[in-house]
Structure 1
Amino acid sequence: MAIAALVSLLLMKHACAFNLDTKETIVKKGPADSFFGFSVALHRQASPQAANWLVVGAPKAEGLSHQGAKSTGGMYRCPITDSTSDCERVIFDNDVDATKESKEDQWMGVTVRSQGYGGKLMACAHRYEKRQYVGESAETRSLMGRCYVLSQNFKIDEKDEMDGGGWKFCDHRTLSHARFGVCQQGTDAAFTPDFHYVYFGAPGAYHWKGVVHASQKNNTFYEMDIFNDGPYETGDENKHREELVPVPYNSYLGFSVDSAKGITDQKRLSFVAGAPRTNHTGAVMILKIKPPHMLEPEQIIYGEELASSFGYDVTVVDLNNDGWQDLVVGAPQYFDRKNEIGGAVYVYMNLQGSYDERSYVRLDGAKDSMFGLAVANIKDINLDKFEDIAVGAPYDGEGKVFIFLGKRSGLEITPTQIISGSELQHRIQQFGYSISGGIDMDNNVYPDVLVGSLSDKVALLRARPVILPTVYIVSIEDIDMEKKTCKNGIDICMKVQACLSYKAKPDSYNAAEDIKDKLRAIPVELSYHIKEASQHQPLQVDHTLSPVLDVSTRKPVTAKINFIKEGCGDDNICQSEMSLRYYYCSHSEDDTFDRLKRVDGHQVLSLKDQKTLALEVEVENTGDDAYEAHFQLVLPHSVSYGGHRKKEVPEDFQLVCWGNENGSLADCDLGNPMKRDQRISFYMILGTSGINVDTYEINPMLKLNTTSEQPGLKAVEAKLKVVIELSLAVTGVVRPIHTEFGGEVKGESAMKTEDDVGSLIEYKFQVMNTGKSIGSLGNAYINISWPAEITNGKWLLYLVNVTVNGTLDTSCHPGNRINELNLQSIGNEYDWNRERRHTHELEPVVSESKVERWSSQREKKVLDCLRGTARCWTLQCSLTGMEQSATVLLRARLWSSTFLEEFDNISEMEVITRAKIGITTQGANIIMKNAKLHGYLVRLMVSPEMSIQPYQSIPWWIILLAVLAGILMLALLILLLWKCGFFKRTTHEMQYEAKYHKAKIEVQPSEKEKMATEA
């Protein structure tokens, strides 16, 4: 019974504590009242010497000597030692320009991050201020925020453009609270797991809507936009459209961030951002990259409780090991009075690329505990193949951290371990304010956990190896009280047989199958001794003394065990003859490979938009078996190892290659042994992200290694020349294509307006970039050879105005050659968007005989600067900032007086204008694809005015109306004539008949009668 009780007690103890050690924790103390522990990170330095560090942010730490501030905050690093006071401040950001910035209370260290083994470090100050108009009444201060990136040794590498404090993307933008004046960049920030991007949360942008910004910045083609790889931002990094951020004002999007592949697509990177004040409940947004500059929302999950701060912290973790990232969201201000809940954590299982916001597991904390203030993916702390999480509750007592394990069905909702700040050797208050995990700091394979607090202390909780015992009883005999079964014949005895087995990780420190050296014999040494009796036993005179070994037999027995080597010579000595050949190949997304062309004996990489290339390797062994055969690839900084693909390998052979953390070294196991006459060929995939404008060639080192005898096996330099290919093309058109000159001759002084000069001519040149954008490779431009004069200096084409669209820089030079005479503009211009009529509607209709008679007396002439028949000057327009296309519009006038004076006997003239693309760059390896020697030609046809006017077709409805009007007028005229008797016919008799006029005689009244009548 006592044994059973002891076993139960031990099992209960281990079930409660599990494998994060709380007895021998490593505790570090920082400066008082500095908030040392506000943020934490684990970091492993690889060079110049290997070291493990605890990285701690202290955002209220005192200012450095040259920062001009009392409190600026900072970042500390602490070694893995027993001492509590050996942390040292990392010195950077130790300067200030008081006319432009302020670092007082900038909170440097509010966020600290590490890329892991041999990676970069980052520290942010989200309250960093930009100052304008200092000392004036209009002085402004903008809380932009700022982040620093440091190399793995905590220093800023001046040669690495990624290092330094240039990470302040809200700078040079509209600095108002409605836009980017209170960005607070760096409230949270991180590196993506694939190290391609660094991304930031800026919850203060757009009236505190908030944004997430992701950028790839180093001296590579990503930074130079050749791969069109960002930067990306919610609301579009280029257009800055706040309506594309689908959350209301005061949402604080970007307050917490995380990223991974396997969120919505197992091969595509997604970002997760918390917005803890969206709709007063909080929300979490899933974002994807949408080129060229957009982080586009894929899904939004909203909180359920008012003022719960859902999204205060977020993390993604594969809890059930299905290859999809599950989502964990902290809501530290969740409150349930009835159940006394003070903080919650929501766990959403990934449904193969999406989350059901109605299906979740909610973990609840104690009242007023702020459970969920910090949530962290701590990787697989017990090595059961399921990732685990840690949850901080800094106000649960003196602060606690809860460990939840993943499992096949998702999450074990009961915490397997609860660690309180009060139970540690050095008590810590507000324990659990920040958490970082996932990296093994004591080299025992198990990842450890670093926990921060608000009491200026941090604690490293190291994970202990886990032993899995299996105990079972195999046989039990029944007890017969009638039989005295003991040897003394008096007592009753029984036999119980039990078996005990266990599993541990690592499984074995000397696994037989992992033996690599099969050439040298294995030495075996056997020694033995007699176990002495305990010295603490009481003296017994009659006790038999223990025996002792003979002195001559105390030497250990040794032997050697040899391996059978079938593929070697009769002398059992293996003399291999390994050789290699290599070829560089292009690599497409469907894993097809084509060998690159050779120029002057070397292969040449014409880099356009490909992100990877391949190195084809052929290894052949024509001698004895080559034991421990390896292929090693050492890469320069311009390329990195990105995997391998098989080409030709034996059926029973499994090619295994692995690389180091930064991709500068790769090693492939070619077999142990690689047998005689065996040939292996494969592709090494190389990332080209490190190639820059200064990269003229790539020189990886290829080396074969074997423990068999093969003298003279030297490394081979695989040289590859690099050229950067730009695909820029220009086309041009002139409207109208054909123009005429006429009128009278006028002198230059008589010209007052454009119309006085001559016909309107407009040129349109379009520049297309069929590859990727030029970025910072150089400054592209277009040169237009403008035919301004004829050979005697008289005007030819007079340039009035130039307009550039699609670029950041719209200037053209020399500007003083545009509208030199300052003629008054009349504003008319060609409509480039209207539909073109059919050709027969535009061309004049002239009889052939008249054309022949007119043109036979005249000549044809070409006005071309290249032929010496015209004089040109070069108009250069900048294409800086052009993405895919840009246009240059030139409005000009044909100088009619010159043509009237000089070319009155010329029937037709052709004026040639040329345009050519160029680029100013310091890189000698940059070439223009399909660049024409003399540029693109645009032809303008010019002829004198003709006496015959061109016929133009009349619309049918005008003809119809004219006919109807004519008929109506004719009808009215006929009616009028008819009324007048115009249509009455005269007979023959009526024409000659005599007409008589009769007189009528009447009696006149007398005078008397007239007077009577008047009376």
Structure 2
Amino acid sequence: MEKIRALVIAAFLCGSVCHAFNVGNVVASHQGAPGSMFGYAIATKDGADGLIIGAPTDENVGASFICNEQCVKDDSGKLEGSPGRPCLYVINFNPEKVENRQCVDEYSEFGELQYKMPGRCFIKTGIEESKMVEPRCTFHNKYNSPEIDCAYGFGFAAVGQEFDETAIVDFSRSLGTSAKKSLLWRNYDQTYEGSAIARFGKGAVVGSPSRMRNYELAGRVMFYEVRSKEALKLSKYPLWTVQPVEAKVGEGFGSSLATGTFGVKNGDSDLVVGSPYWFEDGRPDLGRVTVFRNHRGEGIFEESLILKGEVTNARFGSSLAVYDLDLDGFDDLLIAAPYGEKGTISVYNGHSGGLRAEPSQIIKSEGYLNWYGLAMGLRNRQLVVSAPKKDFVDVLALRTPLKLTSFFRQFPEKPIKRNEFSVSYEFCYQFSSTLTESIQINVVCEHDQLRVENPKVFYSGLSLQSGRPFCQEILFELKQNPWLDHQHDLPVAIKATLSEGQDQIALDPNSGVNLARKISFDKQCGSDNICMSELKLGRVETITETVVFGADNIVEATTMLEIRGENAFGTFIFVNTTSKLNVAMLLFGANDQKSIPCRQLENNLKSCLIGNPARPDLYRLKFRFDIDPDVTQTRTDIVFYANSTNDFPAESEKRKLSLPHEIRTLFQDSLKVSPSFITFEKNYGPIRWDFSVENKGPSTDNLITQKVKCEVPSIVSGGLFNRTDDFHLEKIDDFVMFDCSSDSSSARCVEITCHTDQLLKKNEILSVYLEAEINDEIFSMLNSSSKFIPEFTFEVGRGPYDKLELFQKETSKIEFTVLMPVALYDSLPLLWIVFAVVTGLLLLAVIATVMYKTGCFTRTKRDECDVGLQYETAVSYRPENNREQHIMSVG
């Protein structure tokens, strides 16, 4: 057995104010027999030196031990008969390690032996007498074998020290001091009621965790009132219940319970409930503890704090303990997470505002997988902690906090001037206590390492006598940089800690243990004598109503900037826009004839220097911006804010200027194609496609020149063809012809570009139609898998301004399938049909492959197996009177 089984760690997670270092080192240990689960249950009482420790598997029948300096087995509840393993329990720390223990034949039938098991459940009628009253363990299923969690949650069940009486609650709804098997079976409902019990007001709160994962309950806590002290009778039904917050099935709410006054001295007790099986984000058995604040002691609670575990499978909240560790009049809470790799106990201190949300101390086992903290007890300024997996119990001393009084004085007691570099001050500590006449402390004084030659001073083993102050003077030199040294006060941090070897006491950090002071300087911070910069940016105004396009897209804006305080470095105005910001300038001088360009930082973000440094004053600022607006947006937002780059930067609030755009181009297109399919016949006639575009932008006099690009359909033989980007362009007369990709052997792609110089106003429609006539030659290459794939692209051309490029593309696509009429088959010669049957499917496949790869479907030159298409395109224009006018035709 290790001499030191627990490592006490200060958490220091409490921010600027930490709490007392309450729990000290191990002062005593008790060891049980291997495999006895020694320490599974612990009974303690303040004012009594001894304690009761349960070992439920000792000699296979269980035992209880009365421990003072040594542990003696209590034989008052010893079982008669053959020994046997009383329970099955499964401990699963990780998927690779699972331990099972089974019940033996002696317990195959329900009987008295099933609930007379020393070391599991016991009642104490007074710890001084150590009298055990019918310890028991209940079995619940109809096969008379224990549930998986039979051993979990057992312990003594006491109503409280106020009544000096006890009660036991089994895993049914029955309450009493004796076991009745008829009640056990009749009331069995898998709620695990009685897993935890704690005194509360004039009765007891009882946990009903429902820890079965396949049971549709998360657990609850019930309150039973004590109706008779003599007979120890509780109310038949609970007076009120408490449910978990954001419950999760199987979280085990009510597996552990505690009560205490964490925020109000001598007030109503708050309720603490453990949910050790709570899970989150796929991480099982993290565990959590909920603290419910009590209102008027009437069972009306509100959630005041939820503390969550951070280690998977550690089951944070498996056991709870309440004690005033730091003697400040507020109860403190200890929460165990015993099932992790190393068991831990976290200490949360109470204060006037309630229980603190961060632990002041974490006690961690030095051993592995020993269930450290599964049971806890507090008595006589000692913490008793068990590790039943390794069969030992540790007793740790609680430290008594001492309050320190501290003093600080600067020499000289006036601000230090710029030409002075020697600084001195004095600190003093004092304490008064009847517990000890003297203490040894260590003191650390820390200063700004960038400004002080010797930034840290350490004193070790300073002796303080009770009732007498101890003082120490510190002298140090500033670095030779008067401007930076004197811009702001010099912070000084002084911290006192106890020297080693004083385990029975602790310094109360809520007293004068930590000192934080500042050395003041004659800063000479400018005309207003304000050393911290303050920036106030006024409302941004402009005479510009809209953002225009082209050469006149200039926006001017004005604002007021008030600067207060010292500005050792530059002050800037930052400008951020949602449109492209070409130029930003800060104007100044008479009639704004002078300007300073703003510096580009990022896309659409510029910084404009106001001054370096900018003296305290009220500045009128005027800006000029050259903006390229986004034609697809409706407005441009310009955000202004000021910033100073001092040692302590200041930033003003942000101001926004929002300007609508003069032009916005959005187009609606519709495509009409007729017919919807093509019949396989010669001299079919022209096929027509209609395409219309409407300007949905706002009304404006700045009109736009349009360009329309019309592509005739691609004709594909043998399947669907999707045009890719690997075309080779070749100019043929007035057309642009594409050599289509290799996956379309007979495709021909032709592009026709149609121009119009008409201006398209709001709500005006530009109509384009295309007619194509399929020549006779094309039908000889078509089959029932051929498709037409027309594509039309509408482009908004260059506008009336040099800088404005509005290339809006809208594409419409449609396909039609070639239909082969039945009549065509009737005209085919019979000889060809017979020949096709005789040659077989294999020869047809070869011919088809040769035709696909070497035929004249893929053409690279004109006049070779040319497929002629005659095209006619036209562009019509429909003005505001909605009458369509013919503009141009190309053939």
TM-score w.r.t. length of structure 1: 0.34
TM-score w.r.t. length of structure 2: 0.38
Q: Which protein has the bigger strand share?
A: 2
